Amino acid sequence: MKKITIAIDGYSSTGKSTVAKQLADYLGYIYVDSGAMYRAVTLFAMQNGIISKENFDFEKLKKLLPSIQLEFKKKPDWSKAHIFLNGKDVENDIRNLEVSEFVSPIATIPEVRTKLVAQQQEMGLLKGVVMDGRDIGTVVFPNAELKIFMNASAEKRAERRYKELTDRGDSVKFKDVLRNIEERDNIDTTRKDSPLKKASDAIEIDNSDINIEDQFHTVLQLAKDRIAGRV
Ligand code: CDP
Ligand code: CDP
């Protein structure tokens, strides 16, 4: 059967990774969480005194970029691949609100994007890939057979992310989660290099009032149509 490339972009906490992973599992495709790569570079920057509330040393990060090695690895008992930063599993460490506070400024740096986009495009050569992020349909895979652009109200997205963080035991305030989501929306859509925007041929889904299961069936049908050559 023909294998396609599926690009899922959109705003923070819209359910991109949830639907991307469901699709990949169903179709037997590889799932790549491109946001995890930006988060891992951010964690590296935090660990190496490059970024903090007081300090932001872009030049140092650019110099150290060649020493950042990112890899996805999967074990049979993990539900999804984990990201490894220089050999260490950082899947859990990259999900906290502190990393979320610094990731969008880091993702504005063109040298960071060039490095990560090259690695993402290499993974795309495999075909049968579902990748989610902000610039997948516009920059990473402009020729993807299926492009989805996801949105939902900021309130709804903050409620979802707040639940996720508190469920895993993080002590966060709802207002800080909402503020972070709005700040990232703003930085991600206004940056010069590869801003978050809907590709002209992407299908937009607002899932403010759509549950995970219905959203999956909608996107799966779109994928099946393309695999079968009906579209
Ligand atoms: O899951 P969530 O929506 O919170 O974010 P993510 O997908 O983990 O991405 C974190 C951040 O990385 C985004 O807010 C963007 O600043 C950046 N990012 C990007 O610039 N380009 C991508 N392809 C993926 C993420
Ligand atoms: O990848 P992205 O940041 O866009 O979102 P996600 O991590 O897939 O989803 C964020 C949270 O929203 C997860 O806890 C999902 O279970 C939840 N969600 C939901 O409740 N209803 C939806 N229609 C989509 C996602």
CATH of the domain at 199: 3.40.50.300
Is 158 domain-assigned? yes
Residue 67 falls within a domain, yes or no? yes
pLDDT by 10-residue block (mean), the chain, 231 residues:
95 96 97 98 97 93 98 94 98 97 97 98 94 98 98 97 97 98 98 98 96 97 96 86
On whether residue 171 sits in a domain, the answer given is: yes
Going from the Cα of 158 to the center of ligand 1, the distance in angstroms, rounded, reads 15
Residue 136: the pLDDT is 98
CB crowding 67-77: b at 16 or more within 10 Å, else e: ebebebeeeee
DSSP three-state, residue 141: coil
Q: How many domains does the chain have?
A: 1
| Residues in contact with 6: Cβ distance below 8 Å, sequence separation at least 6, in sequence order | 20, 23, 29, 129, 130, 131, 144, 145, 146, 147, 148, 223
- Does residue 9 form part of some domain? yes
What pLDDT, on the 0 to 100 scale, is given for residue 156?
96
Q: Is 115 within any annotated ligand binding site?
A: no
Residue 190 vs residues 54, 112, 184, 198: alpha-carbon distances, Å: 23, 17, 10, 13
Q: Whose CA is nearest to atom 6 of ligand 2?
A: 15
DSSP SS3 for 74: coil
15 lines ligand 2 (CB under 6 A): yes
Please report, for residues 69, 70, 99, the alpha-carbon distance to residue 85 in angstroms, rounded to integers and kept in the order given: 6, 5, 14
Give me the pLDDT at residue 181, please: 97
Q: What is the pLDDT of residue 20?
A: 98
Q: What is the pLDDT of residue 126?
A: 85
* Contact indicator for 195, 187 with CB cutoff of 8 Å: no
210 lines ligand 2 (CB under 6 A): yes
Cα(11)–Cα(51) distance, integer angstroms? 24
Q: Which DSSP letter does residue 202 get?
A: P
- Ligand 1 pocket: which of 16, 31, 38, 135 to mutate (most atoms <8 Å of CB)? 38
Are the C-beta atoms of residues 116 and 170 closer than 8 Å to each other?
A: no
Residue 230 placed within a domain = no
Closest CA to 31 of 189, 180, 223: 223
- The pLDDT value given to residue 14: 95
Q: Looking at the chain, which runs of residues are DSSP E strands?
A: 5-10, 30-33, 70-73, 82-85, 88-89, 129-133, 146-151, 203-206
The alpha carbon of 8 and the centre of ligand 1 are apart by a number of angstroms equal to: 12
Is 28 assigned to a binding site? no
Whether residue 231 is contained in a domain is answered as no
Q: Please check whether residue 180 lies inside any domain of the structure.
A: yes
214 lines ligand 2 (CB under 6 A): no
CA of 226 to the centre of ligand 1 (A): 26
Query: Does ligand 2 come within 6 angstroms of the Cβ of 138?
Result: no
CB 53 within 8 A of CB 151: no
> Residue of the nearest CA to atom 24 in ligand 2?
15
Task: Note down the domain range covering 96.
Answer: 5-224
Q: Residue 89: what residue type?
A: D
- CA neighbor of 184 nearest in space, from 35, 7, 34: 35
Take residue 189 and report the two structure tokens written for it: 């859509």
Q: How far is the CA of 204 from the centre of ligand 2 (A)?
A: 16
Protein residue whose Cα sits closest to atom 3 of ligand 2: 13
Nearest CA to ligand 1 atom 4: 12
Q: Tell me what pLDDT residue 127 has.
A: 83
Is 24 inside any structural domain?
Answer: yes
Q: What is the ipTM, given to two decimal places?
A: 0.98
